[in-house]
Amino acid sequence: MIQIISSYDNLKNIYLDNKDIIVNTFSDYQSFDMYDINILNLNSPDIWKCNNSKITKLNIKDDLIPLKQSIKSSNTKTVIAMPINYTLYYDYSSYRKQFYNSKELKNLNIEITKLLNEYISDEILKYTYDKCKTTINGFIFDSDFYFSNIDKEKELLVSNNGNKVNTYIDNNVVITTINLFDLKMKENAYERLNSFINVIFKGESQEIPPSWIDDIIFFDDGLYIDKIEHSKNEIKKLEKEIQENRLKLEKNNKIKSILYKTGNELNEEIVNILEDILKEHNDFEDVFEEDYKFISDNTTFIVETKGLNNEVSGQNVTDAFSHLTIYEDKLEKENRKENTKCLFFVAGERKKTINERKKINSRQETIAKRNNTLIIDTPTFLNIYEDFLNKKISKEEIIKIFREQFGVISYDKIGSENND
């Protein structure tokens, strides 16, 4: 099989009827080792653009560079189809949305060779401009460049009459300036490509099978065709299962993000967990500057959340319960009474692993107890939520912990080694 790698898949329709030719783009090509021959097509005007004021790179370089490693690491044959004499545009103005300068590739042979050596293959040599024709099995191919000083044993094809080398081989890499994918000749595209391959790899039985061969059923073909279809269906089922499991992992990772998030993202996920535990949605409005508020078991819980790079400080705890004070002041002005409590959810030392994080010290715990506040570190809250999802603890039991504990939350994960 042959893989053609191009900057875009405009060649796909040309070879659509031949199942032994696959066309992929630079950004989604498959492993070279899956194919007998890999053809890298550099014939596209989109490749030859450089935003810089000097031609020191190509805009598409990030897609090209991985190809060099693919070529080096593969033992299969690789053909690099060099470009025709495109115009390279450079010095781009993002303000005017245009390129200020341009040069034809024939005037950039040193620069382009250097870039292609860096991006594609060290075997690419400097080229010289000269429009030539080469006949292969009755098909005429154009080329805009030729190579000089090629060792005789590496030469593969030369131009008609002038005998200028336009195709050579170095190790398992073939470099050619012949225009293999001339879109003006697309009606004979398969035959033209096949004639080139047969000459280049003569004696290696590289002829591309005709498209109709797959429709001829002989021997036990039917059995293996059925097995392949069965395997494909199994693969589809497994891929669907993998995707579903990935989505579940993404959901879990979103919940686990309370271990390291801060700001609105932390608050949003804490609230999502609380609402899942409460089994109700609270159309909360931030009137008294608290992060969240809910009422349960005749108690109004004022929720504060904080993600910290460092340990929890006394000031952090003071800032948290200050929102409880603001709410209680409002109740007093309105001559209303409520049982209130501050729940301070905190991701302390959020950039460290859980095992590296220090326990909240006694001073902060004393401040919290004195001010009707319960500090809930996010690792402990995750343990509580996991037990809730596994039906090991109920909503009422969680609310009881929130209501009755003060200072720093104390909770041993149910079924953990601590309870053995």
Q: What is the pLDDT of residues 147-161, one digit of tens each?
A: 988 888 899 999 998
Which CATH number fits the domain that encloses residue 380? 3.40.91
**How many Cβ atoms from other residues are within 10 Å of residue 350's Cβ?**
19
Place of tokens 């059923």: 217
For residues 209 and 223, membership in a common domain is answered with no
Pick from 177, 176, 194: which is nearest to 185 by CA?
Answer: 194
For residues 229 and 364, membership in a common domain is answered with no
Per-residue confidence (pLDDT) for residue 288, from 0 to 100 = 47
Mean pLDDT of the chain: 89
Which CATH number fits the domain that encloses residue 142? 3.40.50
**How many Cβ atoms from other residues are within 10 Å of residue 306's Cβ?**
22
Residue 352 has pLDDT above 90, yes or no: yes
- The count of structural domains within the chain is 3
CA 198 to each of CA 34, 66, 104, 194, 214: distance values in angstroms, whole numbers, following the listed order: 20, 28, 32, 6, 21
Residue 415 has pLDDT above 70, yes or no: no
Phi, psi of 345 (to 5 degrees): -85, 125
Give the residue, 173 or 183, on which the prediction is more confident: 173
pTM across the whole model: 0.51
Mean pLDDT of 46-67: 91
Per-residue confidence (pLDDT) for residue 27, from 0 to 100 = 86
Mean pLDDT of 90-109: 91
For residues 7 and 125, membership in a common domain is answered with yes
Domain end (from 184, 214, 244) = 214
Per-residue confidence (pLDDT) for residue 388, from 0 to 100 = 95
Residue 285 has pLDDT above 60, yes or no: no
Tokens of 400: 């009881």
Q: 368-382 pLDDT, tens per residue?
A: 999 999 999 999 999
Pick from 371, 270, 376: which is nearest to 324 by CA?
Answer: 371
Give the residue, 9 or 107, on which the prediction is more confident: 107
Instruction: Give the C-alpha separation, 395 to 233, whole Å.
Output: 44
Instruction: Give the C-alpha separation, 187 to 176, whole Å.
Output: 22
Determine the structural domain holding residue 347 and report its residue range: 260-419
For residues 146 and 23, membership in a common domain is answered with yes
For residues 169 and 287, membership in a common domain is answered with no
Mean pLDDT of 345-361: 94
Mean pLDDT of 407-414: 91
For residues 158 and 100, membership in a common domain is answered with yes
For residues 204 and 222, membership in a common domain is answered with no
Sheet holding 299-307, edge to edge: 292-296, 299-307, 339-347, 373-377, 407-408
For residue 184, which amino acid is it?
K
Tokens of 42: 């550099």
Residue 125 has pLDDT above 80, yes or no: yes
Start-to-end Cα distance in the chain: 61
Task: For residue 289, name the pLDDT band (cuts at 50, 70, 90).
Answer: low
For residues 203 and 293, membership in a common domain is answered with no
Task: Please compute, for residue 382, the number of CA atoms within 13 A of its CA located in the half-sphere on the CB side.
Answer: 17
Tokens of 266: 């932390």
Q: 181-209 pLDDT, tens per residue?
A: 887 777 788 888 989 998 988 755 455 66
For residues 274 and 225, membership in a common domain is answered with no
Instruction: Give the C-alpha separation, 376 to 147, whole Å.
Output: 72
Residue 413 has pLDDT above 90, yes or no: no
For residues 266 and 243, membership in a common domain is answered with no
Identify the three-state secondary structure at position 47. helix
For residues 127 and 225, membership in a common domain is answered with no
For residue 49, which amino acid is it?
K
Q: Mention every residue, 6+ apart, whose C-beta is less than 8 A from residue 79.
A: 37, 38, 39, 40, 173, 174, 175, 176, 180, 200
Per-residue confidence (pLDDT) for residue 216, from 0 to 100 = 86
Place of tokens 């000097």: 54
Pick from 399, 403, 381: which is nearest to 272 by CA?
Answer: 381
For residues 267 and 240, membership in a common domain is answered with no
